[in-house]
Amino acid sequence: MKTDDFDYCLPEELIAQTPLKDRSSSRLLVVDRKQGSFEDRHFTDILEYFKPGDALVLNETKVIPARIIGVKSETGGVVELLLLKDLGDDIWECLARPQKRLKKGTEVVFGRESEKEPSHQDPLIATVLDTLEEGITHVQFKYQGIFLEILEKLGTMPLPPYIHEKLKDQGRYQTVYAKNPGSAAAPTAGLHFTPELLKNAEKQGIKIIKITLHVGLGTFRPVNVEDVTKHKMHTEEYLVSDKSAKEINEIKQNGGRIFAVGTTTVRTLETVAKKYGKIVADRGETDIFIYPGFEFQIVDGLITNFHLPKSTLIMLVSAFLEQKMLPKTPNNLSGRDLVLKAYEHAVEKKYRFFSFGDAMLII
C-alpha cells in the first residue's frame, strides 16, 4: 500500500479560506458504504440519518493560541514556536522555526516590549532543552501568573498553512462545545454543529456523548514515506470519562449506532477498544494509525471534513469506508477507490475543502 495511492487532484480555489457565516449552512456529502452511492445535502439535513437511540460522540478539546513568536535573548533572532503537547513541569513539545539556529540552553523571550527591558520582566521565557527530528523541540517555560492566560495575550490561533486569509473571529476555529484546552488544531468536523442543532438531536432521542483528544502532530503530520505501513504516528493525549464509557456501552448494547464526529473521535474510541476489547474509562496517549485493513469495533458512522491528499486522515476514511462495504458494491470498489470517487464527485460539485470546508457523512 503506497502513499501515492491516496493522492487526488484538487483545484486551489476549492480550499476554503474562511468559515461560513452560519456554521450549519455548509454542504453535506452523504456516502452510503453498502451501495457505494452519494447524496448531496446540507448539514442541517444530517439529523434525518439518525434514529432514536443512536449517539453522537464529540471531541470537546479546545484549541489554545499555540503559535507564539519571540526573539533569542542573545542575538535577537526571531523564533516561532507551535505548542504541540504539554509534557508537564512547564515543559512543552513544540515545532520550532528555524530549529537549526537553536541549541540546548538557548533562551527565547516572548512579549518583550523593547530590547532594553530586563529579562525578569518578560511575561514568558522558553529555554531549549532538546532538539529532535522534523523540527520537534522540547522547551521549558518560565513565567509569572497563569500560563494559558499569558498565551491568550501573546499567542495566535494556529491556522493550517493552506489558509491564507486572516481569521476575524478566533472563536470560529473552535467548536461550540470546546471545553478542555490543549489542542494545536481544531477537530474540524465539529465546526459545523450549532447549539440549536445539538438540542434538536437530543429532542430526536440522539444521545450526545463527549470525549477528549488533544490534537497534535499525530493528526496533521504529513506522510513522508512511500510505504504507508512504515509511517509512525506521534502520540496524542486522550480522555474517556466513566460516564461517557457507560453511555457508549449502553448505546451499543441496546442496538444503537455510534456516530463519531471527526477522525480524532474515531481514533480515541478505537484506541480504547483495541486496548480493552470494549470502551472503559481511560486516560492515556495514542499513536494509533488507521488505514485500510483496520477492524473497527465501536464506530458505526462518521462525520468528517474533506482531507488533504496522501494524509493519514484520508487513509482513515478509506479504512472506514471499506469496513461495511458489501461485495455487491458497484464495480467491487475498495475503500480507497470509494473515497477517491467521493472526492472526485465533491470536486465536480464544487464542495469546499479542508478545515473551513464542507462535510461528509458516512453511513
Query: pLDDT for 235-294, tens place per residue?
Result: 999 999 999 999 999 999 999 999 999 999 999 999 999 999 999 999 999 999 999 999
Pick 329 or 1 by higher pLDDT: 1
Stretch 54-68: mean pLDDT: 97
Query: In which band, very low, low, confident or very high, does the pLDDT at 111 lie, cut at 50, 70 and 90?
Result: confident
Rg of the Cα trace of the chain? 21
Closest CA to 232 of 223, 220, 240, 241: 223
Measured CA to CA, the distance from residue 290 to residue 322 in angstroms comes to 12
- Mean pLDDT value of segment 141-149: 94
User: Going by C-beta distance under 8 Å and a sequence separation of 6 or more, which residues neighbour residue 176?
Assistant: 23, 193, 194, 195, 198
| Cell, residue 90 | 512547564
pLDDT at 113 over 90: no
Residue with cell 464529540: 58
For residue 112, the one-letter residue type is R
What's the helix, strand, coil split of the chain in %, to 5? 30, 30, 40
Residue 89 has pLDDT above 70, yes or no: yes
Across 152-175, average pLDDT? 93
CB-CB contact of 358 with 302 (8 Å): no
* pLDDT(162) > 80: yes
Cell matching residue 217: 502532530
Residue ranges with strand state E in 151-264? 180-183, 207-213, 236-240, 258-261
Write out pLDDT tens, residues 299-314. 999 999 999 999 999 9
Q: Beta strand 67-72 with 207-213: parallel, antiparallel or unpaired?
A: unpaired
In this prediction, residue 325 carries a pLDDT of 63
Please tell me the predicted confidence (pLDDT) of residue 303: 98
Question: Using CA atoms, how far apart are residues 191 and 354, in angstroms rounded to an integer?
Answer: 12
Rounded to 5 degrees, what angle do the CA atoms 340, 342, 344 make?
70
pLDDT(118) > 50: no
Q: Is the dihedral of CA 328, 330, 332, 335 positive or negative?
A: negative
At residue 5, does pLDDT exceed 80? Answer: yes
User: Does the predicted model carry a pTM greater than 0.85?
Assistant: yes
Closest CA to 346 of 361, 332, 334: 361
**So what's the pLDDT on residue 134?**
86
Indicate the range of 54-68, 215-229, 288-302 predicted with least confidence: 215-229
pLDDT in tens, 242-259: 999 999 999 999 999 999
Question: What residues pair up with 85 in beta bridges, in sequence order?
Answer: 93
pLDDT at 218: 78
Question: In this predicted structure, what is the pLDDT of residue 326?
Answer: 54
Q: For the chain, give the mean pLDDT.
A: 93
Q: Which domains does the chain have, with CATH numbers?
A: 3-63+167-362 (3.40.1780.10), 67-154 (2.40.10.240)
pLDDT band at 35 (very low <50, low <70, confident <90, very high): confident
Residue 283: left (phi > 0), alpha (psi -120 to 50), or beta?
Answer: beta
Task: Report pLDDT digits (tens) over 179-190.
Answer: 999 999 999 999
Q: Taking Cα atoms as reference points, which of 172, 173, 169 lies closest to residue 184?
A: 173
Q: Mean per-residue pLDDT for 321-330?
A: 67
- 342/57 Cα distance (integer angstroms): 24
d(CA 332, CA 162): 35
Please tell me the distance from the alpha carbon of residue 185 to that of residue 219, in angstroms, as a whole number: 9
Helix (H) or strand (E) holding 269: helix 263-276
323: pLDDT strictly greater than 90 = no
Q: Which residue has the cell 484506541?
A: 271
The model's pLDDT over 9-34, given as tens digits with 9 standing for 90+, comes to 999 999 999 999 999 999 999 999 98
pLDDT above 60 for 328 = no
User: What is the model's pLDDT at position 220?
Assistant: 80
